[in-house]
């Protein structure tokens, strides 16, 4: 009888663990979807996340860790070419909040920024996930 109880307890624990993993994956997929929607609403008009596909703005594929003004094949403003930093999540968040405060003289007009911190986080998280 003790073996049967141990087996039931083990089975219940495994089912619970499997449910938690499935729930985590579902949450992760939902967050990525929300990030893509936020990106699409604010960025997709001018940018893409496809490597090498520059449009009105440079592609944002692997933006995290890339030197500012360095996407191959894109003609950046001199301000962005000379920005002198590498994109990380904090810098990207600040730029999305207020491009002119981060790189004065950039060509992101008429985009003036997104004030909603949660919306910016969704976009930054989405762009970070696109580089993985």
Please report which confidence band the pLDDT of residue 18 belongs to, taking 50, 70 and 90 as the band edges: low
CATH number where 34 lies: 1.10.760.10
Mean predicted confidence (pLDDT) in 33-46: 94
CA distance 107 to 24: 39
Asked if residues 124 and 93 have their Cβ atoms less than 8 Å apart, the reply is: yes
76-122 pLDDT, tens digit each: 999 999 999 999 999 999 999 999 999 999 999 899 999 999 999 99
The predicted pLDDT at position 130 comes to 82
48-82 pLDDT, tens digit each: 999 999 999 999 999 999 999 999 999 999 999 99
- The phi, psi pair for 70, rounded to 5°, reads -125, 10
Please report which confidence band the pLDDT of residue 11 belongs to, taking 50, 70 and 90 as the band edges: low
Range of the domain at 101: 2-130
DSSP category for residue 132: -
CA distance 132 to 127: 9
Asked if residues 130 and 32 have their Cβ atoms less than 8 Å apart, the reply is: no
Q: How many domains does the chain have?
A: 1
Mean predicted confidence (pLDDT) in 18-23: 52
Asked if residues 71 and 59 have their Cβ atoms less than 8 Å apart, the reply is: yes
Which pTM does this prediction carry?
0.77
Contacts of residue 66, Cβ cutoff 8 Å, sequence gap at least 6: 86, 87
């Amino acid at each position: 009888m003790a073996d049967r109880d141990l087996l039931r307890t083990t089975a219940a624990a495994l089912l619970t663990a499997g449910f938690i993993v499935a729930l985590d994956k579902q949450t992760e997929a939902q967050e990525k979807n929300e990030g893509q929607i936020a990106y699409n609403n604010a960025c997709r008009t001018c940018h893409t996340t496809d490597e090498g596909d520059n449009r009105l703005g440079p592609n944002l594929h692997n933006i995290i860790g890339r030197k500012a003004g360095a996407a191959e094949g894109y003609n950046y403003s001199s301000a962005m070419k000379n920005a002198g930093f590498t994109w990380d999540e904090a810098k990207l968040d600040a730029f999305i909040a207020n491009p002119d405060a981060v790189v004065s003289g950039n060509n992101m007009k008429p985009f003036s920024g997104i004030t909603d911190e949660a919306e910016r986080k969704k976009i930054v998280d989405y762009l970070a996930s696109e580089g993985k």
